[in-house]
Amino acid sequence: MNRLLSICGLTAVVFASPAMAADKDFDTLVKPFLAKHCVSCHGEATAKGDFRVDNLAPDFGSPKLAGRWEEIMGRVNSGDMPPKAKPRPPAEDVARLSEWVVGRLAEAEAAGQGAEKVAFRRLTREEYANTICELLGVTVDVTDPTGLPEDPDWHGFQRIGAVLTLSPAHVEKYLALSEAALNEALPTGPQPKRETVRWNAFDLRGGSWKKYEKEYQARGIADKVRADIVPNNGALDDHTLQVKTPGDYLVRIKLSGLRPAGGRAPRLRLYDSGISRLLFERDVEAPEDKPVTLEFRTHLPVGNHNVRIMNAVPGPNPEDRRSRSSEVPNAFTGLQTRVPWQIKFTDDDGKPIVPFLLLDSIEWDGPVVDSWPTPAYRQIFFGGESAVKDLAYARQIIARFAERAWRRPVRPAELDRLVKLVETARKVGDDFEAAVKTSLLAVLNSKSFLYLEEGEVAAPSPRITDWQLASRLSYFLWSSMPDQRLFDLAREGKLRQPEIRRAEVRRMLADPRAAAFAESFPRQWLQLRKVGMFAPDKTLYPEYDEYLEKSMVAETTGFFREILTRDASLREFLDSDWTMLNERLATHYGITGVTGESMRRVSLSPEHHRGGLMTQASILSLTSDGTRHRPVHRGVWMLESIVGKPPPPPPANVPALATPAAATRKTTVREKLESHRSDANCAGCHRRIDPLGLAFDNYDAIGRWRDVETVRDGTGADPRLDPSGELPDGRKFADAVALKRLMLEDTDKFAAAFTEKLATYALRRGVTFGDRAELKRLVEQSKSDGHKLAKLVESFVADDLFLKR
């Protein structure tokens, strides 16, 4: 009996709703607040608006009750309640009530994500593409317009099962993509003919230039003609490439690129507007008389591709005629042949003054078939030419394929259904390969392929199965399906052993596929998707371009990868004496001595005003809008991503910051916010938020250091910035450096926040109250490991938490 009670008790703890566990704060904080400020109107006696709070249960599992709590928070936050005639509650109390409600709502939401017997967590489009590639050796262009819709996010995470829904559009796209992939992987006809389409300078110059080719041949200088490309030439000319056979193509570009002294190198960008895909971009430096040939490989679907060839560095408006090709027949054969009204490339001594490109040719060579039949064909039709093409052979083929695709053993009934498809197809006249492909198509469009299944209907459990564990691990670190070793370990039941999992983490992190984790996790954790979401104003920030934007993101993901690879401490996220830079970003930061576009580790000095995540341009930029920095956004981001305590949402109808009258002195955003914060309804939250954002006021909207704020409206000099502040616990700081020192003192708290993010990413759901014990244990373990990142990942995977649904 006692044992039974214990089991029941344990179960009750494990499955406790957040509400049940929140009694302490409810009793000491919420109830007294409601009693003092709300019950007189919304109690049993009056129940104004038919709304009672005296008997409102803190059950956030109920959508109806959760909605009521949300409304209470909103009305109190906005100052609607209590009404004007009643005394105002202290701002701190309002803030605490809001935090309590937000916390409970989040927990309820997270708990709801794992409530089913079997959870189906759809593959993200990145995972879908990686998995298809792993299975069939074919690139699926999921981000193309013909690909898959972008995955929605939940607090930055784009892999949360509860929000990854499946629409009819998905079904159509999955069918089309998988069919195309199978056709490419298992071609039934002869080996596709590899052909080279060559665009010479006359093609590349576009317009009516082609008609002059013969004339230049007659002159004997056709081979000297080149396409000159000015900076920021935009997308004036599309060049159409007709792809008859899908596949990988080798693209070779012969060109020169001239960089002005002290300036940027020209940057070649090939953008396929038909499929909205950046095919290639690279800084190019090669003298006029010594062109280089660049080569890249890309996968192209069938159809007409409109390729834009750009010099992606800032320059005059691309629509301006001075930026365009001439319409008189004077093709570029040398710098002296340019038209006088075009933008000037070189000074009077012939040295470049703008970064410009001179293109000779582009070759599209493909489809490249590395072997024939394709590796996927040989793997799937494993019996080779000598195999007897009957249903038994088909059954073997499908069983092997489906087990890998579904990442679990296939049940006989499932296999029967799939083989039946082959049989039917054969009957209607399909040859063996085509019939099998029909079945494989079904495999790739079944729920077991498209979803990661967690749990068993037949045997409900709070833990995932061995096979599911293999998938969780591989999709966590590789964003792709398990490899054979993981399948073998799952089959043997060895993945349950923590030490095996630790060893697997080490193996998997050393695998190139782990780049997916190093790229994807920081992007989602830090919400890097928002970088460039509000494109900086071209007038205020003319130097901002896509290359800078990419470099910003690459710094942060590279920074994460460096810490992971070196198994460095999480403390480095908070502050560091190094960062990852390329020339473009180093120039942006005013750091010299960095050349080239690859990211590399660069030591920092205090005068660089950088170190850690929070002073990286990506973070400073994503927390700004297109025109100015946003201290409140920065503070909110800090609370969400670094502190791990997101603030409640702002009340409705918050007025915008006022623009001062023209005759008044210029004021900083901070000064404008002061008046905003004087409102008691705002003060509670802003006391927590603003100091964390204002500390980084010395960084403008695109992350450049400054001492004064550039202010357009008002009179007098631009005002100096004041980054000082005080944390809610009373600790004061003078600037961002001092704040980072305070945050380093709180490394354990940051480690807790970070671990929660890691768990959210890996488990594909929000963490709940029920996860707190394991999370606490992990943070303690991390502390004893010196907060080493790779160790933390290892410990996390080895922990029981990783097995939980």
Binding site for another protein (CB under 8 A): 214-216, 218-221, 316, 321-322, 327-331, 333-334, 336-345, 347-348, 353
Q: How far apart are CA 248 and CA 370, in angstroms?
A: 10
Of 219 and 776, CB closest to another protein: 219
**Structure tokens belonging to residue 511:** 């695998």
- Give Cβ neighbours of residue 267 (< 8 Å, ≥ 6 apart): 281, 282, 283, 284, 311, 312, 313, 355, 547
Q: Minimum CB separation from another protein for residue 327, in Å?
A: 8
Q: Which residues pair with 196 in a beta bridge?
A: 365
Return the number of the residue (330 or 497) whose C-beta is nearest another protein.
330
Q: Which is nearer to another protein, 322 or 772 (CB)?
A: 322
Beta carbon nearer to another protein, 83 or 340: 340
Closest CA to 560 of 509, 620, 519: 519
Q: How far is the CB of 338 from another protein (least distance, A)?
A: 5
Q: Which residue, 343 or 803, is less far from another protein as judged by CB? A: 343
Please give the structure tokens belonging to residue 711: 């202010």
Residue 200's DSSP bridge partners are 361
C-alpha to C-alpha distances, 118 to 195, 459, 770, nearest whole angstrom: 50, 10, 18
The residue among 216 and 401 lying less far from another protein, judged by its C-beta, is 216
- Residues 518/170, Cβ–Cβ less than 8 Å: no
- Angstrom distances, CA of residue 312 to CA of 264, 298, 315, 555: 11, 20, 9, 20
In whole angstroms, the minimum distance from the beta carbon of 299 to another protein comes to 40
Compute the distance between CA of residue 226 and CA of residue 357 in angstroms, rounded to an integer: 9
- Name the minimum Å distance from CB 592 to another protein: 21
- β-strand partners of 294: 253
- Distance between CA atoms of residues 597 and 313, nearest Å: 13
Which helix or strand (DSSP H or E) is residue 307 part of?
Answer: strand 303-311
Nearer to another protein, 289 or 348 (CB): 348
Q: Give the amino acid at 15.
A: F
Report the nearest approach of another protein to the CB of residue 224 (Å).
9
Structure tokens at 488: 């073998």
Task: List, in sequence order, every beta strand (DSSP E) within 73-153.
Answer: 119-122
CB of 351 to another protein, least distance (A): 12
Residue 600, H or E segment: strand 600-603
Nearer to another protein, 232 or 557 (CB): 232
**CB within 8 A of 435, min separation 6: which ones?**
394, 421, 422, 423, 425, 426
Q: Which is nearer to another protein, 42 or 338 (CB)?
A: 338
Length of the chain in terms of residues written:
805
> CB 652 → another protein: shortest distance, Å?
46
Question: Least distance (Å) from another protein to the CB of residue 342?
Answer: 5
Closest distance to another protein from the beta carbon of 346 (Å): 9
State which residue, 253 or 343, has the beta carbon closest to another protein.
Answer: 343
Spell out a b/e string for 14-41, using b for 16 or more CB atoms within 10 Å of the CB, else e: eeebbbebbeebeeeebbebbeebbbeb
Q: Which is nearer to another protein, 2 or 336 (CB)?
A: 336
**Per-residue tokens: 561:** 């990868």
Q: Distance between CA 537 and CA 544 in Å, rounded?
A: 9
Q: Which is nearer to another protein, 208 or 603 (CB)?
A: 208
- Nearest distance from residue 289's CB to another protein, in Å? 15
Taking the complex as a whole, the smallest distance from the CB of residue 337 to another protein amounts, in Å, to 5
Q: Token digits for 698?
A: 């010395």
Least distance from C-beta 357 to another protein, angstroms? 16
Q: Least separation, in Å, of the C-beta of 113 and another protein?
A: 56
Q: What are phi and psi of 70, to 5 degrees?
A: -65, -40
Give 351 or 665: the residue with its C-beta nearer to another protein.
Answer: 351
The minimum distance between CB 328 and another protein, in angstroms, equals 5
Least distance to another protein, CB of residue 311, Å: 15
**CB of 47 or CB of 339, closer to another protein:** 339
Place of tokens 């009521």: 68
Map tokens 């079997």 to a residue.
118
Which residue, 328 or 459, has its beta carbon nearer to another protein? 328
Q: Tell me how crowded residue 246 is: count the other CB atoms within 10 A of its CB.
A: 22
Strand ranges in 482-595 using DSSP code E only, listed in sequence order: 578-581
Instruction: Give strand ranges (E) for 449-577.
Output: 451-454
Residue 704: CB minimum distance to another protein, A:
23
Cβ-based nearer residue to another protein, 215 or 674: 215
Determine the residue type at 174: Y
Task: Report CA 251 to chain centroid distance, whole Å.
Answer: 28
Q: Beta strand 267-272 with 303-311: parallel, antiparallel or unpaired?
A: antiparallel
CB of 335 to another protein, least distance (A): 9
Give whichever of 356 and 406 is closer to another protein, judged by the CB atom. 356
Which residue in 529, 534, 524, 583 sits closest to 702, CA to CA?
Answer: 534
Dist. CA 299–CA 368, nearest whole Å: 10
* 225 touches 216 (CB < 8 A): yes
The total of other beta-carbon atoms located within 10 Å of residue 245's CB is 16
Q: Is the peptide bond before 373 cis (omega within 30 degrees of 0)?
A: yes
Query: CB of residue 219 vs another protein: minimum separation in angstroms?
Result: 4
If the CB atoms of residues 202 and 401 are measured against another protein, the closer one turns out to be: 202
SS3 127: helix
267 membership: H or E segment, kind and range: strand 267-272
How many C-beta atoms surround the C-beta of residue 192 within 10 A? Answer: 17
Interatomic CA distance for residues 18 and 7, integer angstroms: 20
